[in-house]
Structure 1
Amino acid sequence: MSDSGDAGDGAGRVDDETLEAVQSALIEWYENDHRSYPWRETEDPYEILVSEVMSQQTQLDRVVDAWADFLERWPTTEELAAADRAAVVGFWSSHSLGYNNRAKYLHEAAKQIETDPRFDGDFPETPAELEDLMGVGPYTANAVASFAFNNGDAVVDTNVKRVCYRAFDVPDNDDAFETAANRLLPDGKSRVWNNAIMELGAVACTKQPRCDTAGCPWREWCHAYETGDFTAPDVPTQSAFDGSRRQFRGRIVRTLEEYDELALDALGHRIRVDYSPDGNHGRDWLEGLLSDLVDDGLVELEERDGDDGTERIARLRR
């Protein structure tokens, strides 16, 4: 595979006649059979935004129940905006969705939609408008614009990069991937197309390709299928969750949701069985985790006089 070149390489070399055949083949393949998820059955932008935020680096099958529970509790942006932030963060952590900042940003985005005069209660519809929402980057903005309003640009995730790299020999370069993905996108069909190309990468053009068993519709044009070279772009690996600072930050949030507020040592003993105030996983370690959560606007600390002197109290920020 190529690892350099300008953004016009790859899919840009597909002529118009072949491009139309490539587009039709993928859409037909997707519409004939694809995985069923509830957010694929709705065009409600709020419901789709919740699904997109939840599914970032989280397996889709794990998101299904959390998504349904979240929308049952906060079915509209109005109700989410009026919710207590600690309750939203607590929900996120209790459902093991990871990165509690996402819950904070989703809550803030709902408040923006309801209170910001630019939106005045109306959900933004274009990628540019959606990127004005807290925590919404280009990928999520395009996804919501596509799946809710059918007016997005190409969505470029890890699956799409792998498909473009293998099928059309697109260079391992972000600009090249974006150019190629938008070249492939049929006009006026971003909803079905972005779903279809991500599905292709998720079930057929996987790390270990399943070209024939999954009936990949692009085999006749695919560079990798022709050459047998199924290498893929370099993708950063996510650090292990077990034992990570991220895991313990989540435990802090869940514990404070249950106890409302706790002194630091009491909190430490509840989140880690080997917690020892003066040990390797003691107050200094706990203070570092809490500092991260304070910076994220999720936790607040208070100095309080007690019988044994001054102690620090941690609570979720309301």
Structure 2
Amino acid sequence: MSAGNDAEVSWSLPADVAAVRDALVAWYEDDHRDYPWRRTEDAYEILVSEVMSQQTQLDRVVDAWADFLDRWPDVDALADADRGDVVAFWTSHSLGYNNRAKYLHEAANQVVAEHDGTFPETPEGLQELMGVGPYTANAVASFAFNQGDAVVDTNVKRVLYRAFDVPDDDDAFEAAASELLPAGESRVWNNAVMELGGVACEKTPKCDEAGCPWRTWCHAYETGDFTAPDVPTQPSFEGSRRQFRGRVVNVLGSHDELGLDELGPRIRVDYAPDGEYGREWLRGLLADLDDDGLVALAERDGETVASLRR
């Protein structure tokens, strides 16, 4: 198969696509990483795992996912939860942007209020939920309902680029991934191709060590050229506004409310009320969190105080 766009981008898959599919599925089913969310078809549990995994290594997600489900075991429990508690959990487990916790809580409320507690089963329906983008919607549709399209993430792009010489072009990646997807098999296929990218075709490939099932057809394996598409560099977390926003949420999770000069030293050891990292800097962080609906600001006796929104 081949496809093109305005730049006349083309690609081709091996003639025996069925053999390519069978080899990958057999490799995956023979042995793969046993993450607990791969053993469930519960849409709620899968959604939680997908949102957590967006910015966190999978091995670190395992404990956080289990703790989250212990506390809020189903969509009704999460919808009934205090949003501040959900955000505080997210921060305490270092799960990335706190907005994701807020959106997950709001999505749970949507499922309960608008869908009688039952998740939509298609990517299109799932995208109607708050904070659920195309990738996450497709993953949940695939793994919970076996009704997804081909997943195309960074790992999948790298696999397609190396194995079948698919050019670094989003339309080409989408077309190639869709052509490879066996009809009605999105659950096993998307798990398998992502496993291939995460285990055998990493940045430094482990073709023989991992027993890559596509070595017979792989362009990179044949030529020895294991370059891969450019991956955007994640900004440094240490010292970032994102880090301090998380600290604000974490600290406020343990207090009803705090004034600026009570909160500041708890999130920065070099906080000085009139210094570079002082009240004005802290007000900026709090304003961002207020805009995101995570923190509430009020005036008490002429002083600004902050608390988590409940």
SS at match of 2:266: helix
Matched, 1:265 2:265: no
Alignment partner, residue 14 of structure 2: 14
Aligned counterpart for 2:303 among listed residues 305, 308, 311: 311
Q: For 1:24 and 1:131, how far apart are their aligned partners in 2? A: 31
Deviation at 1:7, TM superposition (A): 8.0
Match of 2:105 in 1: 107
Equivalent residue number for residue 302 of structure 1? 298
Asked whether the equivalents of residues 9 and 167 of structure 2 are also in contact (C-alpha less than 8 Å), the reply is no
Distance 1:121 1:201 in 2: 34
Distance in 2 of aligned mates of 1:297 and 1:233: 36
Distance 1:7 1:53, change over 3 A: farther
- Counterpart check, 1:96 vs 2:88: no
Kept in 2, the 8 Å contact 1:7–1:175? The answer is no
Q: Is the 8 A contact 2:147 2:186 kept in 1?
A: yes
Aligned to 1:237: 233
Q: Would the aligned equivalents of 1:101 and 1:296 in 2 still touch at CA under 8 Å?
A: yes
Aligned to 1:292: 288
**Residue 201 of structure 1 corresponds to which residue in structure 2?**
197
Q: Which residue of structure 2 aligns with residue 47 of structure 1? A: 45
Q: CA-to-partner distance for each residue in 1:178-231, whole Å, 9 max, x for gaps? A: 111111111111001000000000011010111111111001101111111111
Cα shift at 1:120:
2.3
| Cα drift, residue 107 of structure 1 | 0.2
Q: Is the aligned partner of 1:70 residue 2:68? A: yes
Aligned residues between the structures: 306
Moved beyond 2 Å, runs of 4+ = 4-10, 12-15
1:129 matched to 2:121? The reply is no
Secondary structure at the aligned position of 2:253 is classed as helix
Cα distance, 1:265 vs. partner? Answer: 1.2
**Distance in 2 (alpha carbons) for counterparts of 1:267 and 1:142:** 40
Equivalents in 2 of 1:224, 1:209: separation in Å?
10
The residue correspondences of 1:75-224 to structure 2 (distance < 5 A) are: 75-116=73-114, 119-224=115-220
CA contact (8 A) 1:298 1:317 kept: yes
Q: How many Å separate the matches in 1 of 2:206 and 2:10?
A: 25
Distance 2:8 2:194 in 1: 21
What do residues 50-71 of structure 1 show as CA deviations (whole Å, max 9, x unaligned)? 0000000210011001100101
Aligned with 2:244: secondary structure?
Answer: helix
Structure 1: runs of 5+ lacking an equivalent: none
Instruction: Kindly provide the CA deviation profile for residues 134-184 of structure 1, in whole angstroms up to 9, marking residues without a partner as x.
Output: 010111011000100111001111000000111111111111111111111
Q: Deviations over 1:283-314 (max 9, x none)?
A: 12111111111111000100121xxxx10000
Question: Alpha carbons of 1:253 and 1:111: their partners in 2 closer, same or farther (altered >3 Å)?
Answer: same
Tell me if structure 1 keeps the 8 A contact 2:52–2:61: yes
**Aligned residues: percent identity?**
73
Q: Does the CA-based 8 Å contact 2:181-2:189 persist in structure 1?
A: yes
What amino acid does structure 1 have at the position aligned with 2:87?
A: V
CA distance in 2, matches of 1:167, 1:159: 12
Give the Cα–Cα distance (whole angstroms) in 2 for the partners of residues 245 and 50 of structure 1.
25
CA contact (8 A) 1:264 1:312 kept: yes
Q: Which has the higher contact order (CA 8 A, sep 6+)?
A: 1
Give the corresponding residue for 1:254. Answer: 250
* Partner Cα separation in structure 1 for residue 206 and residue 286 of structure 2: 45
Provide the secondary structure at the position in 2 that maps to 1:259: coil
CA distance in 2, matches of 1:219, 1:13: 14
**2:178, 2:10 → 1: CA distance?**
13
Q: CA RMSD in A?
A: 1.3
Whether contact under 8 Å (1:146, 1:194) holds in the other structure is yes
1:179 and 1:282 mapped to 2: Cα distance?
51
